[in-house]
Structure 1
Amino acid sequence: MREKLLLVGAGGFGRVALEHAQQAFDCALVDDGYVPGTVINGAEVVGKVGDIARLFGEYQKLVVVIGNNKLREKVYQEAAAIGYDFPNIIVSSAYISPHATIGSGCIILNNAVVQGGAKVGNGVILNTGVEVHLDSVVEDYVLIYTNSVVRTHAHVGRRAHIGSTLTIGNNVTVPEDGVVENGCSLSV
């Protein structure tokens, strides 16, 4: 029998993460925008976000798949206080160096790469094609969109929002809650 996993969020990220999580877990969803009992991509919506405490007996594992970094952090903090465990959802086409450090509750999608010495915090979403290079740091609850690159010794601060198809150059720091728009590049 497979372990049960509660995914918080049934929007775009939720549906993408669900497809991959279903390969390893028996998944259910919570989302404030859907009526409980609704089935999305084969998984039932079993409640609202406020129901995670009530659902803890049936589910011990939870991953938050909400793109809003501050809200994702808040839900993770509430779930941690309840006692949930936070597995990572790492797609088989992603490459994680054995010399990298990955936190918990992360979602790492197709063809993403995390190189040796890199540190990825908790609750991070690395979308398709993201590269996190040698010895860089991506702090907790960061969201990095498709095909973006975090170069060597770069530092992406907590809850930063990094758009698609951009490069954070070597030794560049993106501040906590920083936003880098699609297609921009930051260099020293």
Structure 2
Amino acid sequence: MSKKKLLLVGAGGFGRMVAEQAMLQYDCAFVDDGQDVDIEICGIPVVGGIADLPELRKDYDLLVVGIGSNQFRAQVYEKAKTLGYGFPNIIAPSAYISPYSKIGYGCVVLQNACIQNGASVGSGVLLNAGTEVHCDAAVGDYALIYTNSVVRTGATVGNFARIGSNCTICNHATVLDGADIPDCTAVH
């Protein structure tokens, strides 16, 4: 059985990490404005740039954005939505997502990340390796949470927020929309 075709937007560091997980399930190609067409990165061909998305739509139904800039990621998803692309979630086999949680579209959940019972994660969210979203916590659309950070029970992370590595968002704490929380910070 052949795999479905998937465009991966962004061939930088994060995009390559997304690709490692996506290749397990999809036949992937990169779209990246900073790379030459027809080269391969990690064995995956570069087939164009962002401006090529309308033309690429005839060959690809699915797209995931692996770029760390929350605003840019949202812009690409919005453009791709108008073109009719679908947005699967890319979930590492070692990640755990409770069947009693909610997760939006176009999310990336990397190795050993965990989304617990009653938690909700919006669309276009990037959860790096070791991230935990505890019971009844909420992560807004287009948020980015770096490695080994924890969003504790009942906490809220706003839309477009960026949480650095090794952070703890304490029980019932709120991180505002667009906030940028530095590495190793506790938010009470």
Relative to the length of structure 1, the TM-score reads: 0.99
Structure 1 residue 102: Cα displacement: 0.6
What is the Cα deviation at residue 53 of structure 1? Answer: 1.1
Q: Tell me how far apart the structure 1 counterparts of residues 90 and 78 of structure 2 sit (CA, whole Å).
A: 19
Q: Distance in 1 between matches of 2:142 and 2:52?
A: 22
The alpha-carbon deviation at position 49 of structure 1 amounts to 1.2
Q: CA deviation at 1:54?
A: 1.0
C-alpha distance after superposition, 1:68-87 (max 9, x if no partner): 00000000000001100000
Alignment correspondent of 1:165? 166
Equivalent residues in 2 for 1:87-98 (5 A)?
Answer: 87-98=88-99
Amino acid at match of 1:11: G
Partner of residue 19, structure 1: 20
Unaligned runs of 5+ in 2: none
1:52 matched residue in structure 2: 53
1:134 maps to which residue?
A: 135
Following TM superposition, where does structure 1 have runs of at least 4 consecutive aligned residues deviating by more than 6 angstroms? none
Instruction: Look up the equivalent residue of 1:47 and give its one-letter code.
Output: G
1:50 to partner: Cα distance: 1.4
Instruction: Tell me by how many angstroms 1:169 deviates.
Output: 0.5
Residue 150 of structure 2 corresponds to residue 149 of structure 1: yes
SS at match of 1:17: helix
The residue aligned with 2:43 is 42
Residues in 2 aligned to 1:78 and 1:116: alpha-carbon distance in whole angstroms: 32
1:105 aligns with 2:106: yes
1:38, CA displacement in angstroms? 1.1
Separation in 1, partners of 2:55, 2:175: 38
Distance (whole Å) between structure 2 residues aligned to residue 64 and residue 150 of structure 1? 23
Q: Specify the alignment match of 1:62 in structure 2.
A: 63
Secondary structure of the 2:74 match is helix
Aligned-pair RMSD on alpha carbons? Answer: 0.5
Separation in structure 1 between the aligned mates of residue 134 and residue 24 of structure 2, nearest angstrom: 28
Count of residues in correspondence between the two structures: 187
Q: CA deviation at 1:174?
A: 0.6
Query: Is there any run of 5+ residues in structure 1 with no aligned partner, and where?
Result: none
**TM-score, with length taken from structure 2:** 0.99
Q: Which whole-Å CA distance do the structure 1 matches of 2:118 and 2:13 have between them?
A: 31
Following superposition, the deviation at residue 145 of structure 1 comes to 0.1
For residues 84 and 163 of structure 2, what CA distance do their matches in structure 1 show?
30
- Identity among equivalent pairs (%): 52
What SS class does the counterpart of residue 53 from structure 1 fall into? helix
